């Protein structure tokens, strides 16, 4: 899947725009950007009606919005700055229903068309098809990656390219051999534990070398797309 991050475009129109451009998924980025739960709800509702996946990224493993983004209609959750198996287990505890976790039983949900359902059926249906992803983007997270990948209830590890390089003392050097070795270690941990691999912030020309088996690539975001595309267009017109 190739996705786009949404940092500033907080309207339902983001879904047909992303879909029309050929993206497979939209990620509402509540870590880097101005968007919050209200915008997520609108975008997720549009995604649900269109059959287009809408995920969310929160601010970290201790965010108070872990389960709330799921209640708002996100079908996937990416949690940044996961540095330990304990933090991964905390995410599962908040986002999975019992017996695996302890997510609170919600009101009727947008992903279930707000149907009134018995609690058992509600939890069974609401818990189905939710993807939980932990981001590895620090030296501490890399050191614990095998243990994080082993946590039941975590479906995917997502590499935060820029922060990982920064955490390894290689700011802006994603093509450095040490960063490539880190990518390969994370990919091995994912494969060993039957999880999926995702990447964010990875330059297009490095995808083949760094993440050939990635199931999810967040290829860009709305801000970068507008600035980069606009700069190229203006540059051509000014020649």
Q: How many CB atoms lie within 10 A of CB 230?
A: 10
pLDDT of 152:
98
* Domain of 221, in residue numbers: 2-238
Among 32, 48, 81, 90, which one carries the catalytic annotation? 32
Cα separation of 5 and 9, whole Å? 9
Q: Is residue 146 within 8 Å of residue 185, measured between CB atoms?
A: no
Taking the CB of residue 227, how many other CB atoms lie within 10 A of it?
A: 11
Q: Around Cβ 83, how many Cβ atoms within 10 Å?
A: 23
Give the per-residue pLDDT at 169.
98
pLDDT exceeding 70 applies to what percent of the chain? 100
Neighbouring CB atoms inside 10 A of 44's CB total 28
Residue 125 pLDDT: 94
Mean pLDDT of the chain: 97
User: Which phi and psi angles does 89 have, rounded to 5°?
Assistant: -65, -35
Question: What pLDDT does residue 68 have?
Answer: 97
The reply to whether 90 belongs to the active site is no
Exposure of 94 in the CB half-sphere (CA atoms within 13 A): 20
In sequence order, the β-bridge partners of residue 180 are: none
pLDDT at position 103, please?
Answer: 97
Rounded distance between C-alpha atoms, residue 202 and residue 206, angstroms: 7
How far apart are the C-alpha atoms of 211 and 169, rounded to whole Å? 21
Contact 151, 195 (CB under 8 A): no
Count of domains observed in the chain: 1
Q: How many CB atoms lie within 10 A of CB 102?
A: 13
Find out whether 192 and 213 touch, Cβ atoms under 8 Å. no
What is the SS3 assignment for 211? coil
CATH number at residue 229: 3.20.20.60
pLDDT at site 9:
96
Q: What is the dihedral of CA 23, 73, 102, 29, to 10 degrees?
A: 50
Q: Which residues pair with 3 in a beta bridge?
A: 25, 218
**Which residues of the chain, if any, have pLDDT below 50?**
none
- Indicate the SS3 state at residue 218: strand
């Amino acid at each position: 899947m190739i996705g786009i991050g949404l940092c500033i475009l907080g309207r339902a129109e983001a879904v047909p725009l992303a879909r029309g451009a050929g993206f497979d998924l939209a990620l509402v980025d509540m870590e880097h950007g101005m968007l919050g739960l209200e915008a997520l709800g609108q975008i997720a509702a549009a995604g649900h009606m269109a059959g287009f996946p809408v995920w969310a990224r929160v601010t970290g493993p201790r965010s108070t919005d872990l389960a709330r983004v799921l209640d708002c209609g996100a079908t996937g959750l990416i949690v940044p700055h996961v540095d330990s198996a304990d933090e991964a287990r905390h995410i599962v505890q908040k986002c999975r229903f019992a017996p695996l976790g302890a997510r609170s039983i919600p009101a009727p949900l947008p992903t279930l068309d707000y149907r009134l359902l018995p609690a058992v059926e509600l939890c069974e249906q609401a818990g189905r098809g939710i993807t939980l992803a932990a981001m590895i983007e620090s030296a501490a997270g890399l050191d614990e990656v095998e243990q994080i990948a082993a946590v039941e209830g975590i479906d995917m590890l997502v590499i935060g390219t820029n922060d990982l390089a920064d955490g390894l003392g290689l700011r802006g050097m994603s093509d450095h051999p040490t960063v490539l070795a880190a990518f390969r270690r994370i990919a091995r941990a994912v494969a060993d534990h039957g999880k999926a691999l995702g990447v964010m912030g990875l330059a297009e020309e490095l995808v083949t070398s760094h993440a050939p088996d990635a199931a999810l690539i967040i290829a860009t975001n709305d801000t970068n797309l507008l600035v980069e595309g606009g700069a190229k267009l203006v540059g051509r017109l000014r020649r």
